[in-house]
């Protein structure tokens, strides 16, 4: 009979230990669950931050692209105005040379060699005019 209380005491002792260890496990599970939730929240925050950063980078890139496009348009407009100015200058030079030839012919002061030189200048200017007009039309098409 002496063994029975010892045996009973041993069973109660094991039962208490098993209950104690059973209570420890949910606490560990709760802490593991909390850690998982914290990790999940951190990942969500990081994802949100990275999405915001990507959106900000995209806006900056679009801004740079728009700025580049604007500069390109301005450069093209400037090139067109320069070509138009060059064409006007060359046209006025041609007209002046033709008037010069006519006035010297009428006065009789124009030598045949001078007339040939002036005619060659006029032809060169007219060739340059044709080229400049072609370039101008190309530039206007780009615009």
Kindly report, residue by residue over 6-40, the tens digit of the pLDDT: 777 778 777 777 776 555 455 556 788 888 888 99
pLDDT at 24 (0 to 100): 46
Q: What confidence category does residue 108 fall into, taking pLDDT thresholds of 50, 70 and 90? A: confident
Q: Which helix (H) or strand (E) holds 95?
A: helix 3-107
Task: Give the integer Cα–Cα distance in Å for 139 and 136.
Answer: 5
- Mean pLDDT over the full length of the chain: 87
Three-state DSSP class for residue 111: coil
Identify the band that residue 2 occupies on the pLDDT scale cut at 50, 70 and 90: low
Predicted TM-score of the model (pTM)? 0.60
State the Cα–Cα distance between residues 41 and 66, nearest whole angstrom. Answer: 37
Burial of 136 (0-12, 13-18, 19+ CB in 10 A): middle
Q: How far apart are the first and last CA of the chain?
A: 111
Share of the chain above pLDDT 70, in %: 90
């Amino acid at each position: 009979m002496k063994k029975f209380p010892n045996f009973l005491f041993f069973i109660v002792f094991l039962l208490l230990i098993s209950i104690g260890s059973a209570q420890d496990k949910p606490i560990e599970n709760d802490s593991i669950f909390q850690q998982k939730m914290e990790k999940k929240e951190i990942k969500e925050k990081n994802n949100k931050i990275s999405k915001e950063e990507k959106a900000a980078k995209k806006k900056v890139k679009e801004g740079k692209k728009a700025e580049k496009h604007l500069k390109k348009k301005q450069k093209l407009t400037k090139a067109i105005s320069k070509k138009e100015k060059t064409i006007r200058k060359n046209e006025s030079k041609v007209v002046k040379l033709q008037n010069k030839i006519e006035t010297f012919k009428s006065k009789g002061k124009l030598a045949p060699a001078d007339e040939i030189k002036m005619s060659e200048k006029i032809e060169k200017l007219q060739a340059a005019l044709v080229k400049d007009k072609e370039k101008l039309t190309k530039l206007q098409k780009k615009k």
